[in-house]
A and B are shown apart, each in its own frame.
Chain A
Amino acid sequence: MRPGFTSQGLITLAVLVIVAFLVLLPVVFLVEESLNTGDPMAFPPQEYGLANYVAMFEEDLQVIINTVVIAVAATVMAVLIGFTLAWILTRTNVPGREKLERLMELPYYMTPLVGALAWAVLASPRSGFFNQIWRWAGGTGDLFNIYSMFGIAWIMALFEGTVAFVMISAAMKSMDPALEESARVIGASKLRTALTVTLPLVMPGVLGATLFVFAEMLGSFAAALVIGIPARVYVITTAIWDSTLSYPPAYGRASAMGLALFVVMFAMLTFYRRMVGRGSFATITGKAFRPRQMDMGRLAWLLFGVCALYVFLAVVLPIAALLLTSLERFATALLHQAQFTLANYEMALALGPVRTALANSLLLGFGVASVGVIIMALVVWIIYRSQLVGRGSIEYLVMFPQAVPRLVFGLALLWAWLNMPIPIYGTLWLLALAYFTVMLPIGVRTLAGVVLQVDKSLEECARVCGAGWVYQLRTVTLPLLKPGVIAAWLLIFMACVRELGVSVFLMGPNAKVIAPSIVSAFASSGIELTAAMALIQTFTVVVALLILFRLTRGMTRELT
């Protein structure tokens, strides 16, 4: 029997075709539109040319400069934060290490949107909480002004710092302590060992993290949207957003910018993969060592404070600020002046559109997670466990959306589905399809991590005992994957509820979701109502998160 024509082979082919359709087709549309130099709304384009790309460098040069400057600043800060935290938590005897490690992951789940809103509340000139307190305490002028390039970079760094932390601490943990010990035994001092042995060994991991973080910063949208626009600072993502929201919509220009961004991100991520030496984006949990811890004495408590400070700045403070705002009639930090009320929550929950948006987000979360996990499990099995030809391509395709900035992908999907004969634009179906596509990397990554931990021989043994493919999947593979499947489900669910970049383009009057509604509320309702909505969304994510934490207690995950 030729392997190509087995049921496995057919299913693989089907999967390959479907994934290619979902992932590549929108990008193809985008490429075509970027070359459109005629009527931006005509499809297919009437004139082709490179004018859009040229215009990018002529008219939008400032935007590109802004993007790079902010991304660099944010990356530097994020990597510093991540490195410091990683060092403290893996190399020193800071107290409460396990709890702290868990807490360090929290900012990852706080959406940058909520973070940006919160910091707008905290640090906007004159009315920001910090500045109010500063003036009340006798200061003049403003202590902070979040509406600046630095402000945007700060917010991005604060929330991306945790990604850098996870990647760098993984690098630190994968270093064999014997390497340091042999230096110490020969007689090298702590400092010398640190500089000549530890640092060089950890450097590739750090550099890899830097590249990865930089790539993500380039494509970041929420902070630039909330903070950048009032600050008159446009970056590529907000410029793309802006282009499609004016009349006439400049889809060609937006596509060109989107593609340029995508190409740069793609290049960075390719470098990153080369550098870290992995063939795929999938997590392979190699052996993790417990490196030798340095005794810091009383300094350990200071270090504890540093970690706590990060969690405070990234999680506690923003949530507290939003909570306070959402319970007031007019936002103020001066508690003696505040008028407290629950009206904002009443309105948020009673406002039909908000309720619908929240319900839609939850529905999409449940639906996409449930269906997605099954399909992704199948895909993962095909990629990592079958012998089928073409599985390498499937893996590549499935990880592809990670290299495309969400916003750009949203634009691509918009343009693709505006012009495809199937009328699902403006419906929840399109959103579901879009969510599924952009969640592929997350789901596949998580499931792959679990699948690879399942020794191949466990499955082979089932086959040898006479079980067919389906029976083996059902009785051996899937039960063993259960914890990983649940983790993947929760991650996808949370990502759906937080999703912004794709949703902003694909919503319709009957297909509203929560994150864009929060953005819209920020623009056209008071900050108090916006805060209430943001907290309701965060609450949903937190509930899912708590379940996830209980489930994965003790399990370390890599976020890359």
Chain B
Amino acid sequence: MSAGALCIELRDLVIRYGEVVAVNGVSFEVNRGEHVTLLGPSGCGKTTTLRAIAGLEQPGAGTISIDGQVMYDAVRRHNVPTEQRGVSMVFQSYAVWPHMTVLGNVAYGLKVRKQSGADIRAKVERVLDLVQMRHLADRPASKLSGGQQQRVALARAIAFSPTVVLFDEPLSNLDAKLRAEMRLELRELQRQLGITSVYVTHDQEEALAISDRVIVMNVGAIEQIGTPEQIYNRPRNRFVADFVGSANLIRGRVREPLAAPKTLAFVAEGGHVLQATAAHVLRGNETEVAVRTAYIELGKANNVNQMPGTVRRRMFHGDFVQYVVDCPLGQMIVRHPPTNLVAEGDGVNLSFSPEHCVLLED
């Protein structure tokens, strides 16, 4: 990847609030046109990091560069103020100005840049079209619904064609259905316009669905960076395995590496031996494997790891069914499409492949 394609670069960023260290040495890069999501629970520092990129938070150490230009450098005491960074932001509360119309809101960034009236008009109309709000251009912003405000906030953010757009949990105030719809629209828009975006959310489903890459954060530090598939299939540690998707965590110890590359034998606490894979360089003292609930088969299947079990509890979730199964490894949670339902009390044969039994790094 050539340096020219690098759009945002953070190195060793540290941000403190008084005694508390909110962001503790975070480094990552975002390539041009990429959509990267910062994912994590509340308090993990994702929003703080995002705001630091915008210049709305004052870091204590590290560097931030956008498009090759240094925006913040602690050592050289260099700090470019927000209004000169050329990034755009969509706020969680939308921050739509109630004392202006929709048009006024969207045109703001263009007016600041002193563009001509005709230019402004054209660009605003184009962008309102993109979010399907053209017909409400003259409506006072105080009279918009939540979803409409969201679109206006988005239109405003892209109206002046920024290279980078930052999203601070923009969909969290919408109801589930609307959220799902907006998610798609956002992604479409981002692809279409080729905007580099950094997106913050605590909703792992959302993160996985729309991101090119996901950065999982916890307590101010990065747990794992990868594509959605990588994060889901190869969780690095207990936190990621637990936070993203649902997984069974099985304790035990490594017995020995096996012939196939990256494969190893893992003895669970109960004594049962599993074949697991490791995404990292094997140390030998790892103590846990994770098995995604969606990857466990019920009934006959040709997988290496097999064991009998009894269905203790069955809960119908609509799109899937969740079984709690008693087996030699303890209680396993299995998620299955809502077909071929197994009754509570029935016996089943649990099986999963070594690829789906991931050795956790720590």
Contacts and interface: CB of A to CB of B under 8 A. Distances in A.
B113 A466 contact: yes
A429 interface: no
B47 to A, nearest CB: 12
Interface in B70-121: 77-79, 81-84, 86-89, 91-93, 95, 97-99, 108-109, 112-113
Interface in A458-489: 458, 460-468, 471-472, 475-476, 479-480
Size class of the contact patch on chain B = 20 to 34
Nearest to A476: B97
Q: Which 8 A-B pairs have the closest CB atoms?
A: A465-B109, A457-B95, A461-B95, A466-B112, A463-B82, A457-B91, A464-B89, A479-B99
Nearest to A8: B81
B54 interface: yes
Contacts of A1: 77-79, 81
B209 interface: no
Nearest to A471: B112
A472 B92 CA distance: 20
B89 A461 contact: yes
B56 interface: yes
B108 A462 contact: yes
Nearest to B92: A457
Contacts of B108: 462, 465, 467, 475
B160 A466 contact: yes
A462 B113 CA distance: 12
A3 B59 CA distance: 13
A525 interface: no
23 contacts: A3-B79, A455-B95, A457-B92, A460-B54, A460-B82, A460-B89, A461-B91, A461-B95, A461-B156, A463-B55, A463-B82, A464-B83, A464-B89, A465-B109, A465-B112, A466-B112, A466-B113, A466-B160, A467-B83, A467-B108, A472-B83, A480-B97, A480-B98
Contacts of B27: none
B58 interface: yes
Contacts of A46: none
Nearest to B168: A457
A384 to B, nearest CB: 16
A11 to B, nearest CB: 15
Interface in A431-463: 455, 457-458, 460-463
Contacts of A455: 93, 95
Given A2-B77, A465-B88, A465-B108, A460 B56 contact: yes
A479 to B, nearest CB: 5
A146 B3 CA distance: 87
Contacts of A466: 83-84, 86, 109, 112-113, 160
Interface in A1-29: 1-3
Contact of B82 (A457, A458, A464, A480): A464
Nearest to A479: B99
Nearest to B99: A479
Interface in A354-410: 387
A307 B87 CA distance: 57
Nearest to A478: B99
A458 B149 CA distance: 13
Contact of A465 (B79, B98, B99, B160): B160
Highest count of chain B CB atoms <10 Å: which of A2, A3, A387, A457: A457
A463 B83 contact: yes
B95 A458 contact: yes
Nearest to B104: A475
Nearest to A6: B81
Given A479-B99, A480-B99, A457 B93 contact: yes
A473 to B, nearest CB: 12
A131 to B, nearest CB: 57
Contacts of B77: 1-2
Nearest to B79: A1
B69 to A, nearest CB: 15
B237 to A, nearest CB: 34
Contacts of B88: 464-465
Highest count of chain B CB atoms <10 Å: which of A387, A466, A468: A466
A465 B156 contact: yes
